[in-house]
Amino acid sequence: MSQPRLHQQLSLVFETKNTEEVSRLFAHPDFDSFMKKHALEIPTKELAEAFTHTSFSHEFNFPHQERLEFLGDSILQMVLTEELYKKFPGTKEGHLSKLRSALVNEESLALMARALGLGDLIIVGKGEFIKKLYQESTVLADTFEALLAQVYRHHGFEFVKNLILGWLNEFIPNAFSENFLDQYDAKSKVQELSLKKYKKLPRYSSQDKADQFEITLWINEREILKGIFPSKKSGEKALAQEALKKELI
């Protein structure tokens, strides 16, 4: 009989509180499959630590990912700082900082985490599992950073650097393009244009639609665009980008 997938195993841990089931969780073959796919060699239990949320640690007294997040964030900053410095010679420090912030923001990291399937490997506490916290952008972004820390610790800087740049190229192919910052900062630009033209801030309204949201963008108290989105934050950003693209302001 084959072993259940990691989140099925996690459900068994909650049901049984059995230490053997917890041990199976931290040695789960889904971690080994992930490492094989990405040519990683990390002790399975150490890789699992990068995926362990504090909520599980509080319930079962296992090491969690927070210290690894701290290290992973520094590694990511260093890799991107070096790459931006090389790709944009002559660009002022302030603009480089904005470019880096756009690349290391929660949404960008969560996008890559989702593409890599990290959510399926995240270990959370029982209440958080029911709420599907492992799908939240904040948790995904933190886990992505923790993963980078373990890769760095076991493979070194050049390896993790190439991995980060490879994933960026695959999942955010325009990451180092000149217009990436415009796309990232769309809401700020819409605000700037609205204030300049109408002396009024743009407004976003929302209505619940089952488990989604209908978001509307208003400029000068006039409805500009609307759409259905999984979250208010993503919807507002998408509408701002579309408004700029279609020159609706």
Q: Active-site residue numbers?
A: 73, 145
Instruction: Please provide the DSSP assignment of the chain as one string.
Output: -PPPPHHHHHHHHHHH--HHHHHHHHT-HHHHHHHHHTT----HHHHHHHTB-HHHHHHH----SHHHHHHHHHHHHHHHHHHHHHHSTT--HHHHHHHHHHHHSHHHHHHHHHHHTGGGG-B--HHHHHTTGGGSHHHHHHHHHHHHHHHHHHH-HHHHHHHHHHHHHHH-TTTTSTTHHHHHTHHHHHHHHHHHHHSS--EEEEEEETTEEEEEEEETTEEEEEEEESSHHHHHHHHHHHHHHTT--
The two structure tokens encoding residue 60: 């079962």
